[in-house]
Amino acid sequence: MIIAHGGAGRWEHYELKEAVKVLRRAVEIGVNELLKGGSALDAVVEAVTLMEASGAFNAGRGACKDSSGGVSLDAGVMWMERAGAVAHVKATWNAVKLARAVMEDTHHVLLVGDGADSLAKSRGMPPLEHCQSTSSRGVVDTVGAVALDSQGRLASAVSTGGIRGKMPGRVGDSPIPGAGFWVAKRVASCSTGVGEAIMMTHPCRMTSMLYEAFGVDLPIAVKASCEAVKAPCGVIALSIEGGAAAYTTADYMPISVATEEVVEVQVLEKKCSYSKRLAK
Ligand code: ASP
């Protein structure tokens, strides 16, 4: 099963329409990966890659511009007690796959700037400058996905262009483990919203702690972690028990959820919880 979000923020209705369509495709692709025998990691990376490629979100091809008109991307993935992340990437739109490469093929967790760009080039990853949307889009939000595979393994992935008009060089919460994404033993999550506030609160780590250490129900753990962030935020999470939950303190956060049997898309409004038990 997989849950994805298209970013917590101030969405326009016409943007939501397109985002919701892409979000549906993203979780369908994620579930297909799982059905083909792929891992939870494959599922989240493929779902996020599709959203990065779509140009419909503030990630990958659709990333927003900084105050000097440049575009730089941040992304992170986590699975099996390992994490990989990249920040201030300018060489490729497919930041989530670059984060996966950091996790799988280096001894590091976070690569930034020129180092991350060199890795992207050495892998022949698709360049950012060929993407039409980087110059015109960027009016909408960050993407993320969390999946659980048939072997009970959880993965989380997130990708973003940051915040509109950011100072060149600014990095937000998204590539920071515990802040933008986290996978613990029984729960995985990712967040979206104002990175400066999220980095000071680490809502993903907090969700795991509340759920695993204190036995708090998943929807309540997600809500409490999200509300602890003193700025608009959104969190999605999945547990190995098959619970899915999402919550936002921003105006809107589109989400999609899929299992083999069901694909569901919703636009969560401010302070509305989503919660579902997807498996026994
Ligand atoms: N959290 C992202 C950042 O601050 C932005 C977002 O989620 O919309 O970089």
How many whole angstroms separate alpha carbon 58 and alpha carbon 143?
A: 7
Residue 137's pLDDT is: 44
Confidence of residue 171 (pLDDT cuts 50, 70, 90): very high
- Which residue would you say has higher pLDDT here, 230 or 260? 230
| Cα 30 off chain centre by | 13
Mean per-residue pLDDT, 126-151: 74
What's the pLDDT band for 138 if we cut at 50, 70, 90? very low
Rounded-to-integer distance, Cα 18 and Cα 269, Å: 17
Residue with tokens 């659980």: 148
Report pLDDT for 135.
Answer: 40
Structure tokens at 31: 């579930």
Q: What is the phi/psi pair of residue 192, to 5°?
A: -150, 155
| % of the chain surpassing 90 pLDDT | 87
- pLDDT for residue 134 is more than 70: no
The whole-angstrom separation of Cα 191 and Cα 208 is 13
CA-nearest residue for atom 9, ligand 1, is: 162
Averaged pLDDT for residues 100-112: 98
Task: Tell me which residue of 226, 13, 229 sits closest to 140, measured CA to CA.
Answer: 13
Domain boundaries, the chain: 2-272
Give the number of other CB atoms < 10 A from CB of residue 132: 10
Strands 110-112 and 143-148, by their bridges, are: unpaired
pLDDT(125) > 50: yes
Mean pLDDT to the nearest integer, 70-80: 96
Mean pLDDT, to the nearest integer, of 108-119? 98
Q: Does domain 2-272 have CATH number 3.60.20.30?
A: yes
Dist. CA 223–CA 203, nearest whole Å: 10
Would you say 259 and 274 are in contact if contact means Cβ atoms under 8 Å apart?
no
What residues flank ligand 1, with Cβ below 6 Å?
Answer: 7, 9, 58, 141-142, 160, 162-163, 172-174, 192-195, 198
Whether pLDDT at 69 is above 70: yes
| Mutation probe of ligand 1 site: the residue of 140, 166, 173, 253 with most atoms within 8 A of C-beta | 173
Q: What per-residue confidence (pLDDT) applies to 197?
A: 97
Residue 30 in tokens: 């994620």
Residue 192 is a catalytic residue:
no
Q: Which of 134, 142, 249, 259 is catalytic?
A: 142
More confident residue, 14 or 234: 234
Percent of the residues in the chain that have a pLDDT greater than 70, as a whole number: 95
pLDDT surpasses 90 at 16: no
pLDDT in tens, 189-243: 999 999 999 999 999 999 999 999 999 999 999 999 999 999 999 999 999 999 9
Give residue-wise pLDDT tens across range 28-57: 999 999 999 999 999 999 999 999 999 989
- Predicted TM-score (pTM) of this structure: 0.95
Q: How many CA atoms lie within 13 A of 130 on its CB side?
A: 8
Taking the centre of ligand 1 as the mean of its atom positions, its distance from the CA of residue 75, in whole angstroms, is 10
Residue reference for tokens 């959104």: 234
